[in-house]
Chain A
Amino acid sequence: MVNPQTGLPDPAGGPSTSPSTSPPARRRLLARLRLGLAELVLRVGRPSRRGRLTRGPGLRRGSAVRLRRGPAVRDLLDEALAGVAARPTRLILTTLGTVLGIAALVGTLGLGQTAAGQITQRFDLAAATRVVVQPEDKGGQEGEAATQLPWDAPDRLARLNGVDAAGTVSALDIGDDMVRSVEGLDGQKTGYALPVLAGSAGLFDAVRASLKTGRFFDAGHDRRGDRVVVLGKHAAEKLGINRVDSQPAVFIGDQAYTVVGILDAVSGRAELLDGVIMPNGAAKTEFDLESPDAVEIRTQVGAAQLIAGQAPVAIEPNNPSAIKVDAPPVQGGVRRGVESDLNALFLLLGAVALLVGGLGIANVTLLSVLERISEIGLRRALGAARRHVAVQFLVESVIVGFLGGLLGTAVGVLLTIGVSWGRDWTPILDNRLAIGSPLLGALIGLIAGTYPAWKASAIEPITALRGT
């Protein structure tokens, strides 16, 4: 015979050891029947015990007791995998629809998450805690005396819970006066037309100012009306001042001011960097400043909206509507806006692409069933039951769907990363999305493969083996 070890079955026939189903085995079988789909798949291929028992008593041949089971699950998977791998070009074309669909879904959701995360981040860093208060446009209320902010507005605001710092800021009208660093020196006679501003001591804290060198002026300078200034870094460059330890002076018109510090950076009010800032006290005496132009407020995180509502009342209890407040927009609104605008369309596109992808898989699998009729017949002749054939084609289309899902996820993730890179964003992607998408592809394959698999299992081996 073919295999010397096994050889021909003993014709004399050994004692018939036809397997009797013992009670525990039967119980196990029943328990197994109650289990779910996974167990069902595992059970595929095992011959039913009832079938074995139908063997007649005339059974004599030794081969009749060969205790063989059906195909192992792994073998069925191997067969399906080989079936898929046999036509690589077709495999790629078949997965294309699913790849596009999943890529659209993952890309849309990923970019949506990334964009939303980005907006939140930017607002948190700078603008989300900035509130600016100023009088309503004077032109708006004709005839009435223009509303003026009180000098003690920062103190009133500081009493509100949620305000970290507050300070006034005003632009000074210096007429035709120029700003010079040294009086009478050549080339400096005319000086520069720099903006001159006045602020309270709390201003620097409110705008998150940092110093290049020196110090800020404080409430004492303000109260005494000391003629000191802090220079913005661009103004300092123009005036040629880069250190303050020698107490350099700048001249505004003919009046000298001692430079105490140079600003390096501020947030929100960038004009401070271009200007010369003096305390309110000096501005009142030298330039007749009547009231502050605006108050810069730095709030605690999340308190901006609250402070925006309270600030006008704190400053002008009699006529809060005369105060104009600039506050950051509500974050949730922005995020929701981004998600609904962008995503709805792309999600729809993704869903359509997935539908088309699923139909593509169904189509190609059906085609492949028709093409492989003789293979199906052969498998049936080799002992495959209908369900083995069905499972093979079902698994093949699940593999195709899963591969499409995997590729699509990769493309979607790359898309998210690419766009984020282009816009200097930090890509944000939900892990569940990356894991779930290939599974979604597999599910689509499963659904798409159901009809072709049923069709394949219904093919009669006789028709399949005839001819060719």
Chain B
Amino acid sequence: MTATAVALPAPVVEMIGVRRFFPGPPEVQAIREVDLVIGQGEYLSIVGPSGSGKSTLLHLLGLLDNPTGGVYRLDGVDTSNLRERRRAVLRGERIGFVFQSFHLLDHRTVLENVALSMVYVGVPRKERLARARVALERVGLAHRMEFAPTTLSGGERQRVAIARALVAEPSLLLADEPTGNLDTVNAEAILEVFDELHAEGMTLAVITHDDQVSRRAQRQVRIVDGTLQW
């Protein structure tokens, strides 16, 4: 797959000339001039060695960070001039995060962890729980709903995190080294879930340094020294 994807009618992500410099001596040019378009339903992987700027790119994609320059449109919404409050709403509604270290709340049940992602979007409580159950069944954890995350295996925890990312119906699923803390068997299971999601029309962007993981994607982009290579 190549840049033909740009031609898709409604890109989820549209980055034009995006830069991110960290000031202060010495200035770090983490991202320089990135143009990236992710079409709807695409499954993209961004590979790169550590220090290549892929974390920074993930933060920019996830609206966790502001670009120094350039234009970033998410679902057609220009995010450059949005205030923090608005960006938080957009983030909650449009982006589902899956982290390497899962980031589950240990003191809450699996079900509550999944339902949490709809709290700040304003979904009523009953609907939250109902949808969280459906999402957990979807990732095969119906039997673990009332468990504490600490009692689950790594693969199970990551599946909870995926359920949490999906349940708010995001436009973009953003995964940061999703298999980094998992053994091969569990990693394979997670990648299978991603394949299924892709088949169902979800837009995915997976950031990884692992070529095995990267190869599963429909399209691969390599990032080196803050620039993308096709």
- SS class of chain B's interface: helix, strand, loop or mixed? loop
For A461, list chain B residues within 8 Å (CB). 64
A462 at the interface (CB under 8 A from B): yes
Q: Known interface pairs A72-B122, A378-B103, A383-B91. Does A82 touch B108 (Cβ–Cβ under 8 Å)? A: yes
Residue in A4, A55, A70, A375 whose beta carbon sits within 8 Å of that of B77 in the complex: A55
Residue in B40, B75, B88, B134 whose beta carbon sits within 8 Å of that of A2 in the complex: B134
Task: Judge whether A68 and B101 touch: CB under 8 Å.
Answer: no
A1 at the interface (CB under 8 A from B): yes
Q: Known interface pairs A55-B77, A377-B103, A385-B84. Does A1 touch B201 (Cβ–Cβ under 8 Å)? A: yes
Task: Judge whether B124 and A72 touch: CB under 8 Å.
Answer: yes
For A435, list chain B residues within 8 Å (CB). none
A41 to B75 CA separation, bound complex (whole angstroms)? 31
Task: Judge whether A380 and B64 touch: CB under 8 Å.
Answer: yes
B143 at the interface (CB under 8 A from A): no
The size bracket of the interface on A is: 35 or more
Q: Known interface pairs A68-B122, A381-B97. Does A2 touch B135 (Cβ–Cβ under 8 Å)? A: yes
Task: Judge whether B86 and A59 touch: CB under 8 Å.
Answer: no
Task: Judge whether B105 and A58 touch: CB under 8 Å.
Answer: no
For A72, list chain B residues within 8 Å (CB). 122, 124-125
Residue in B10, B73, B107, B138 whose beta carbon sits within 8 Å of that of A11 in the complex: B10
B121 at the interface (CB under 8 A from A): yes
Q: Mark A358-395, 1 if CB is under 8 A from B, else 0.
A: 00000000000000001101111111111110000000
For B149, list chain A residues within 8 Å (CB). none
A9 to B41 CA separation, bound complex (whole angstroms)? 12
A381 to B97 CA separation, bound complex (whole angstroms)? 7
Task: Judge whether B76 and A382 touch: CB under 8 Å.
Answer: no
Task: Judge whether B123 and A51 touch: CB under 8 Å.
Answer: no
Residue in A85, A385, A387 whose beta carbon sits within 8 Å of that of B89 in the complex: A385
Chain A residue, CB-CB nearest to B14:
A58
Chain B contributes a number of interface residues (CB within 8 A of A) equal to: 55
Shortest A186–chain B CB gap in Å is 92
A468 at the interface (CB under 8 A from B): yes
Most buried by B among A11, A59, A72, A378: A378
Q: Mark B96-121, 1 if CB is under 8 A from A, else 0.
A: 01010101010110001000110111
A183 to B79 CA separation, bound complex (whole angstroms)? 121
For A467, list chain B residues within 8 Å (CB). 101
Shortest B196–chain A CB gap in Å is 11
Residue in A13, A66, A462 whose beta carbon sits within 8 Å of that of B65 in the complex: A462
Chain A residues proximal to chain B, CB less than 8 Å: 1-4, 6, 8-9, 11, 13, 45, 47-48, 51, 54-56, 58-61, 63-64, 66, 68-72, 74-75, 79, 82, 85-87, 374-375, 377-388, 461-462, 465-468
Q: Which 8 A-B pairs have the closest CB atoms?
A: A383-B92, A86-B107, A51-B86, A383-B120, A385-B88, A69-B122, A58-B76, A378-B103
Question: What are 29 A-B residue pairs whose CB atoms fall within 8 Å in the complex?
Answer: A1-B169, A1-B201, A2-B138, A4-B134, A8-B200, A47-B89, A51-B86, A54-B82, A55-B76, A56-B73, A59-B76, A60-B76, A68-B93, A70-B121, A75-B125, A85-B107, A374-B103, A380-B64, A381-B97, A382-B92, A383-B92, A383-B121, A385-B84, A386-B84, A386-B85, A388-B120, A461-B64, A465-B99, A466-B55
Given A48-B85, A63-B171, A383-B91, 7 new contacts (CB under 8 A): A3-B131, A3-B167, A51-B82, A74-B125, A79-B116, A383-B168, A384-B88
